[in-house]
Amino acid sequence: MFYPNNFQQATSIEEIRHFIAANKLAFVYISRTNCGVCHAVQPQVQEMLEEFPAIKAIQANADDIPEVAGEFTVFTVPALLLFVEGKEMIREARFVVMDELHRQFQRIADNF
């Protein structure tokens, strides 16, 4: 099944900072344009997040916003970061085990 990319698209590092500050549960999906893994993982994560409406998501393309890699110490993409009240609580990168990510999301959502 094909999922359109429904993630809010960040246009600046300031927008990402504001998004994290404005949402109790903020998920940041960092990708690059020519990253096959990024494009494969994104719809799976998007579908998973439908179960967790409290988690708000934004996507940042590191090609368009190069500062994002330095700001969040990202060495490989995709990078999946979940912030709880501004503090990074989950970090997954490159090869993401979806069942484990789901368990982590569930644990945080249950405690919120």
What is d(CA 69, CA 27) in angstroms, rounded to the nearest whole number? 15
Domain ranges of the chain: 8-110
Band (pLDDT 50/70/90 cuts) for residue 67 is very high
Q: Which residues contact 107 (CB under 8 A, 6 or more apart)?
A: none
32-59 pLDDT, tens digit each? 999 999 999 999 999 999 999 999 999 9
- In this model, does residue 2 exceed pLDDT 90? no
What is d(CA 97, CA 41) in angstroms, rounded to the nearest whole number? 10
pLDDT of residue 1: 47
Average pLDDT over residues 11-37: 97
> Chain-wide mean pLDDT for the chain?
94
Two tokens, residue 42: 């994104």
What is d(CA 53, CA 25) in angstroms, rounded to the nearest whole number? 10
Single out the residue of 95, 12, 96 nearest to residue 58, CA to CA: 12
Domain spanning 8-110: CATH superfamily:
Glutaredoxin (3.40.30.10)
